[in-house]
């Protein structure tokens, strides 16, 4: 009996070893390993890349950028392409966690919209290419709002009409809420002035009794079920609210709305560096970028991708930002440590 188990263990170990050997062999030829948010890359597009290039692609997913950063800081994990947001991208470049792949010299880089040809933290696009981008505004249900419409201003949710009190949901995201407050008050979001931070805190504290909840989860259901009349929201989520509640309106507040960008980058020591470069260049083709947008519901940054978009995406101003709102979009800025510390203290005071 004992002998049997030992034999079993031995053969299991041998099998495991065999598996490792097999996978290293596969790594050596035509493989690409992506590390991305879940539900953020189209399986069809993946199949297309495999067919176009003969490369075998696998995807692992992470739940938060902290996971991604921690894994990279712990020393690569054998991934070839990762999809960090702007904050994380900046940290990664600074800490030397990324491979310099000279995206700006790639064949398809000319397809990138001018506004996205540079990004805070990677100004000359040596390390990263844009993947998806979106905005943070708010969505409302005209049926639940006095007069059937709301002003295109943060004022509408920071100083709500009496009928809306207790029917407002905010995102539970420190930087988005802080930024909105800063835009509304006309303060720089990277302010280092405690008096200005105090103004933002006062604004948020005054609004708090009227806020039903702060949450990032279930924002779509909450709007569809009519639990709240207004929800601070990301535009992709707003698009999906409209799928079930077509009358819902997504607002780009006139004081400014943050647009965030998720990038594609290659971690240091990626096992398939050349394939990773091929992939990133391939993703900057209009048709492929459009396919990615069709799946995620967010905008891409590639010129000429519009004609390949699904009609409902093209028709939705929440996703396809109208020209006239262009000057309301505010790019991410890498704030100083002092400013970030202020922001964090405001957030804690808000929640204590």
Partner 1 sequence: MKLERRRSFANLLLIGPAALAIIIFMVVPLAMMAWISVQARSYGGGVHWGELTGEAWLRFLFERELDDSLTISFNYLSIIARSVWLSLITTVLSLAVGFPTAFFMATRGRRWRTLLVFMVTLPFWTNLLVRNYAWILILRDHGTINGLLLSLGIIDQPLPLLHNQFAVAVGLTYSFLPFMVLPIYSSLEKIDLRLVEAAFDLYADRWRVLRKIIVPLAVPGIVAGSILVFIPSLGSYVTPELLGGGKTLMVGNLIGHQFGAARNWPFGAALGLFLLALVLLAMTLYALRGRGPEASR
Question: Binding residues for partner 1, per CB under 8 A?
Answer: 64, 66, 69-70, 73, 91, 94-95, 166, 172-175, 193-195, 208, 211-215, 225-227, 337, 340, 344-345, 347-349, 351-352
Kindly state the tokens that stand for 194. Answer: 């405690």
Measure the CA–CA gap between 102 and 48, rounded to whole angstroms: 25
Q: How many CB atoms lie within 10 A of CB 290?
A: 22
Smallest distance, partner 1 to C-beta of residue 11, A: 27
Smallest distance, partner 1 to C-beta of residue 80, A: 23
Measure the CA–CA gap between 253 and 271, rounded to whole angstroms: 44
Nearer to partner 1, 5 or 352 (CB): 352
Smallest distance, partner 1 to C-beta of residue 38, A: 16
Long-range CB contacts for residues 311-314, cutoff 8 Å, separation at least 24? 312/243, 313/239
Q: DSSP characters for 307-340?
A: GGS-HHHHH-TTTS--GGGGGGEE------HHHH
Nearest to 300 by CA among 134, 90, 176: 134
Smallest distance, partner 1 to C-beta of residue 226, A: 8
| Residue 241, C-beta contacts closer than 8 angstroms, at least 6 positions apart | 139, 219, 220, 223, 224, 233, 248
Buried (b) or exposed (e) across 231-257, using 16+ Cβ within 10 A?
bbbbbbbbbbbbeebeebbbbbbbbbb
Measure the CA–CA gap between 104 and 124, rounded to whole angstroms: 7
Nearer to partner 1, 161 or 174 (CB): 174
Nearer to partner 1, 212 or 245 (CB): 212
3-state secondary structure of 265: strand
Nearer to partner 1, 72 or 319 (CB): 72
Kindly state the tokens that stand for 172. Answer: 């539970």
Nearer to partner 1, 186 or 226 (CB): 226
């Amino acid at each position: 009996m004992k002998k049997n188990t030992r034999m079993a263990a031995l053969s299991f170990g041998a099998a495991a070893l065999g598996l490792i050997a097999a996978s290293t062999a596969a790594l050596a030829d035509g493989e690409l390993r992506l590390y991305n948010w879940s539900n953020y890359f189209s399986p069809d597009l993946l199949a297309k890349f495999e067919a176009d290039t003969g490369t075998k692609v696998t995807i692992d997913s992470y739940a938060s950028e902290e996971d991604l950063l921690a894994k990279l800081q712990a020393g690569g994990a054998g991934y070839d392409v990762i999809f960090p947001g702007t904050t994380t991208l900046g940290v990664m470049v600074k800490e030397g966690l990324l491979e310099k792949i000279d995206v700006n010299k790639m064949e398809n880089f000319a397809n990138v919209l001018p506004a996205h040809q540079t990004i805070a933290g990677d100004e000359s696009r040596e390390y990263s290419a844009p993947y998806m981008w979106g905005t943070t505004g708010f969505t409302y249900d005209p049926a639940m709002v006095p007069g059937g419409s709301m002003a295109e201003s943060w004022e509408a949710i920071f100083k709500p009409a009496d009928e809306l009190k207790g029917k407002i949901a905010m995102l539970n995201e420190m930087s988005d809420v802080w930024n909105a407050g800063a835009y509304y008050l006309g303060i720089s979001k990277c302010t280092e002035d405690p008096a200005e931070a105090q103004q933002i805190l006062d604004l948020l504290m005054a609004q708090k009794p009227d806020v039903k909840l702060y949450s990032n989860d279930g924002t779509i259901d909450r709007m569809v079920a009519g639990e709240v009349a207004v929800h601070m929201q990301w535009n992709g989520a707003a698009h999906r609210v409209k799928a079930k509640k077509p009358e819902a309106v997504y607002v780009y507040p006139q004081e400014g709305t943050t647009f965030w960008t998720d990038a594609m980058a290659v971690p240091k020591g990626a096992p398939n560096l050349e394939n990773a470069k091929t992939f990133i260049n391939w993703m900057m083709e209009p048709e492929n970028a459009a396919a990615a947008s069709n799946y995620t519901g967010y905008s891409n940054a590639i010129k000429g991708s519009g004609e390949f978009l699904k009609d409902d995406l093209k028709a939705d101003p929440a996703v396809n930002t109208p020209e006239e709102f262009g000057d309301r979009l505010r790019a991410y800025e890498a704030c100083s440590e002092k400013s970030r510390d202020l922001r964090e203290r405001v957030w804690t005071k808000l929640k204590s």
